[in-house]
């Protein structure tokens, strides 16, 4: 592979590192190509809010040559961290967030800060979807998903309080990894709701995001062998929200079922337990109560300048009493136990990452409701790309595993992604 050959592909972590190891590419060439692409095309995509100084260089390491975008809610010592909000215009942290420091230590090249919705909430920030021009890229990790989908960088950081990793990944046709709660540190990441906020990762494919996570953390997360799906049991998760799933997503789930069965997977349907239905409902109260406290100063000092959607969440959240919050927390605790019980009968769960493809227009980031349960329970989730509507809009399927089984969920997701080429 040459630097010129990268022009024809999204930047793949696996391919780049293999080419560097073989001597076919130099790390500096990949980083230069990343910068060139951003300069040439980001005016139409709007994935980045700030670019790193071209003179900045990363030390050698296992991620040397991997260009990475950082969602603009993670502190960076060399670039502003503005949270997508005028309240933080020009804000310059003195130190990197822990995850940013980890990337630099492993040799990754931080190429810039990616666009976030205001304070990582729901107000769109104007980023376009490179996989579906004229459609939302999702949110709140809008710029990170768009940057990977456009081939601007090989990996990017996001965060998820509801569905802000899996939904943008689904809309942009890339892999999104929302790990088990607190697997990735959130020190130096702007808090929205402290018991829900989860740092996540984007890359072109499941294998790419698994390798990136492995080298970033030192955990055994990469997909080392071709996993055979034969003999596994996958549960298709059924909820009261199913009637709202769009026909294109219903078709995608059917295709997923056929592909899995062809690969030798046993399929069962899992009806949502009442405790998990109550847990999903509790998410709203927990998120609102915690956000109204975590962002109390922003709301009091700059509430009039906040976007309407984040302002509504904070206003509603301030109305919850401590007693109501505690009731919701108890429901969440019961839901997490119930979620653990699901995996007594299945190896992993299959669920939609969104109700359908990315909505047209940039006035909304899409509805997070169908995916937010797994943020509340803390289970690891991977958005598996590879399916699309008849007119080419990406569709995302989520694979969910037992808490702490992050390597397992990545392996199963990679195996499923491989089967999509035949459906």
DSSP assignment of 38-71: HHHHHHHH--EEEE--TT--PPPSTTTT-EEEEE
The arithmetic mean of pLDDT across residues 393-413, rounded, is 98
304 is a domain residue: no
Burial of 107 (0-12, 13-18, 19+ CB in 10 A): middle
How much is the average pLDDT of 158-183?
A: 98
- Residue 172 pLDDT exceeds 70: yes
- On the question of pLDDT at 58 being above 70, the answer is no
In a domain, 298, yes or no: no
Across residues 73-83, what is the average pLDDT? 98
Which residues constitute the domain of residue 22? Answer: 4-217
Phi, psi (degrees; rounded to nearest 5) at 80: -60, 155
Strands of 224-326 (E only): list them.
233-238, 266-271
Q: For the stretch 230-261, what's the b/e string if a residue is b when 16 or more beta carbons lie within 10 angstroms of its beta carbon?
A: eebebbbbebebeeebbebbeebbebbbebbe
Residue 227 pLDDT = 81
Output the six-digit token pair for 298: 């922003």
The answer as to whether 383 is a domain residue is no
Angstrom CA distances, 228 to 93, 262, 345, 405, 412, stand at 46, 12, 19, 17, 9
155 within a domain of the structure (yes/no) = yes
Q: What is the mean pLDDT of residues 211-220?
A: 98
Residue 340 clears pLDDT 70, i.e. is over it = yes
Average pLDDT over residues 1-26: 84
Residue 22: how many CB atoms within 10 A of its CB? 9
| pLDDT tier at 302, thresholds 50, 70, 90 | confident
Q: In what order do the strands lie in the sheet with 198-203?
A: 48-51, 109-114, 67-71, 155-160, 198-203, 175-178, 381-388, 394-400, 348-352, 233-238, 266-271
CA–CA gap between residue 365 and residue 139 (Å, rounded):
5
On whether residue 361 sits in a domain, the answer given is no
| Beta bridge partners of residue 352, listed in sequence order | 397
Query: What would the mean pLDDT of 76-93 be, rounded to a whole number?
Result: 97
SS (H, E, C) 95-133: CCCHHHHHHHHCCCEEEEEECCCHHHCCCCCCCCCCCCC
Query: What is the CATH classification number for the domain harbouring 212?
Result: 3.90.1300.10
Per-residue confidence at 23, pLDDT binned at 50, 70, 90? Answer: very high
The pLDDT tens digits for 90-148 are 999 999 999 999 999 999 999 999 999 999 999 999 999 999 999 999 999 999 999 99
In a domain, 398, yes or no: no
Average pLDDT, the chain: 96
Q: Does position 421 have pLDDT exceeding 90, yes or no? A: no
Confidence of residue 61 (pLDDT cuts 50, 70, 90): very high
Look at residue 3 in the predicted model and tell me its pLDDT: 59
In the structure encoding, which two tokens stand for residue 286, read together?
């927990």
pLDDT, mean of residues 402-415: 98
pTM, to two decimals? 0.97
Q: What integer pLDDT is reported at residue 9 of this predicted model?
A: 76
Q: What are the start-end ranges of the E strands in 347-380?
A: 348-352
Band the pLDDT of 2: cuts 50, 70, 90.
Answer: low
Cα 29 to Cα 38: distance, rounded to the nearest angstrom: 14
Mean pLDDT of 63-86: 98
Contact predicate 137/357, CB 8 Å: no
Indicate which residues carry an active-site annotation: 71, 140, 164
Please state the length of the chain. 423
Q: Which residues of 273-290 are buried (b: 16+ CB within 10 A; e: fewer)?
A: eebbbbbbebbbbbbbbb
> Is residue 231 helix, strand or coil?
coil
- Pairing assessment for the beta strands 109-114 and 67-71 based on DSSP bridges: parallel
* Lowest mean pLDDT, pick from 56-60, 127-131, 229-233: 56-60
Number of domains in the chain: 1
Question: Residue 155: which residues within 8 A CB-CB, separation 6 or more?
Answer: 13, 66, 67, 68, 69, 108, 148, 201, 202, 203, 208, 209, 212
Q: Region 364-377: what's the mean pLDDT?
A: 98
Span 269-282, pLDDT tens digits: 999 999 999 999 99
Q: Tell me, what's the pLDDT at 118?
A: 98
d(CA 9, CA 16) in angstroms, rounded, equals: 11
pLDDT band at 327 (very low <50, low <70, confident <90, very high): very high
Kindly tell me the sign of the dihedral angle through the C-alpha atoms of 75, 142, 54, 109: positive
Instruction: Report the percentage of the chain scoring pLDDT > 90.
Output: 94
Phi-psi region of 400 (alpha: psi -120 to 50; beta: other; left: phi over 0): beta
In a domain, 371, yes or no: no
Say if residue 7's pLDDT is above 60.
Answer: no
* Structure confidence at residue 56 as a pLDDT band (50, 70, 90): low
Q: Is residue 139 a part of any domain in this protein?
A: yes
Mean pLDDT in residue range 43-60: 87
**In the predicted structure, residue 301 carries a pLDDT above the cut 70:** yes
């Amino acid at each position: 592979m040459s630097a010129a050959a990268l022009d024809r592909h999204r930047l793949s972590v696996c391919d780049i590192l293999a080419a560097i190891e073989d001597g076919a590419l130099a790390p500096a060439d990949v980083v230069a190509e990343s910068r060139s692409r951003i300069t040439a095309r980001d005016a139409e995509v709007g994935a980045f809010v700030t670019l790193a100084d071209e003179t900045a260089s990363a030390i050698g390491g296992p991620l040397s040559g991997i260009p990475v975008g950082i969602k603009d809610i993670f502190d960076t010592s060399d670039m502003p961290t503005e949270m997508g909000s005028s309240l933080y215009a020009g804000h310059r942290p003195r130190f990197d967030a822990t995850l940013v420091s980890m990337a630099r230590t492993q040799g990754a090249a931080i190429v810039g800060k990616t666009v976030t919705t205001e304070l990582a909430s729901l107000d769109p920030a104007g980023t376009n979807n490179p996989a579906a021009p004229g459609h939302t890229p999702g949110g709140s990790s809008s710029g990170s998903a768009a940057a990977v989908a456009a081939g601007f960088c090989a990996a990017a950081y996001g965060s998820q309080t509801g569905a802000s990793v899996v939904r943008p990944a689904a809309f942009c046709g890339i892999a999104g990894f929302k790990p088990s709660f607190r697997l990735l540190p959130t020190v130096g990441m702007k808090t929205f709701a402290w018991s829900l906020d989860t740092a996540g990762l984007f890359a072109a494919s499941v294998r790419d995001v698994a390798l990136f996570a492995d080298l970033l953390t030192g955990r055994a997360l990469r997909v080392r062998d071709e996993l055979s799906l034969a003999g596994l049991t996958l549960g298709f998760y059924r909820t009261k929200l199913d009637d709202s799933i769009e026909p294109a997503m219903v078709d995608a789930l059917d295709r997923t079922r056929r592909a899995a069965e062809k690969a030798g997977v046993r399929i069962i349907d899992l009806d949502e337990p009442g405790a998990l239905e109550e847990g999903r409902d509790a998410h709203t109260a927990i998120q609102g109560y915690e956000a109204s406290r975590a962002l109390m100063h922003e709301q009091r000092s700059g509430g009039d300048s906040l976007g309407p959607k984040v302002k509504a969440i904070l206003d509603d959240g301030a109305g919850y009493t401590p007693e109501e919050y505690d009731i919701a927390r108890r429901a969440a605790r019961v839901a997490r136990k119930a979620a653990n019980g699901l995996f007594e009968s299945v190896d992993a769960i299959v669920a939609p990452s969104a109700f359908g493809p990315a909505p047209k227009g940039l006035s909304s980031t899409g509805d997070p409701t169908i995916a937010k349960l797994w943020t509340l329970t803390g289970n690891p989730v991977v958005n598996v790309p590879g399916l699309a509507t008849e007119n080419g809009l990406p569709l995302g399927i989520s694979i969910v595993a037992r808490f702490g089984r992050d390597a397992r969920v990545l392996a199963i997701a990679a195996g499923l992604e491989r089967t999509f080429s035949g459906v």
